[in-house]
């Protein structure tokens, strides 16, 4: 079972995901994230993956779908705090994480 909690700071909306993201969980998360995107209209949506212990291909689909949805609404979507094992999967899918970019910029 996965959960999402939201926190707003100015025009940025943070979505903190936790638990295991499989097919069933991804459907529930999709509805909640889409509702937040439409109802809150943030300039930036940051999905924090720090609490995610497992994510299958449904999670990748969830993120890719939210990227498309955010783009249509004029919202920038970013990911942060992905555990190491998720970063590998995300990189293979061509999905960048914020901390990777920040570390490269610091060097």
Dump pLDDT digits (tens) for 56-104.
Answer: 999 999 999 999 999 999 999 999 999 998 998 898 888 887 754 444 3
- The C-alpha atoms of residue 49 and residue 82 are separated, in whole angstroms, by 5
* pLDDT(106) > 60: no
Structural domains counted in the chain = 1
Range of the domain at 81: 2-98
Question: Is residue 57 a part of any domain in this protein?
Answer: yes
> Which pTM was predicted?
0.87
Instruction: Indicate the Cα dihedral angle 55, 56, 60, 65, nearest 10°.
Output: -100
Question: Is residue 105 a part of any domain in this protein?
Answer: no
Please give the pLDDT value at position 100. Answer: 43
- Residue 1 pLDDT level (bands cut at 50, 70, 90): confident
> For residue 78, what are the contacts with CB-CB under 8 A and spacing of at least 6?
44, 45, 46, 47, 98
Please give the pLDDT value at position 92. Answer: 87
Task: Write the DSSP assignment of 44-79 as a string of letters.
Answer: EEEEEEEEEEEE-HHHHHHHHHHHHHHHHHT-EEEE
Domain at 75, CATH number? 3.30.750.24
């Amino acid at each position: 079972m996965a959960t999402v909690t939201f926190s707003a700071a100015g025009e940025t909306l943070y979505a903190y995901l936790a638990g295991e993201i499989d097919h069933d969980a991804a459907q529930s998360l999709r509805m909640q994230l889409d509702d937040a995107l439409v109802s809150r209209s943030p300039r930036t949506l940051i999905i924090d993956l720090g609490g995610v212990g497992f994510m299958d291909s449904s999670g990748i689909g969830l993120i890719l779908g939210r990227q498309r949805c955010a783009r249509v609404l004029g919202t920038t979507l970013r990911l942060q705090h992905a555990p190491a094992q998720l970063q590998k999967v995300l990189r293979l899918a061509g999905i960048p994480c914020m901390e990777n970019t920040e570390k490269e910029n610091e060097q």
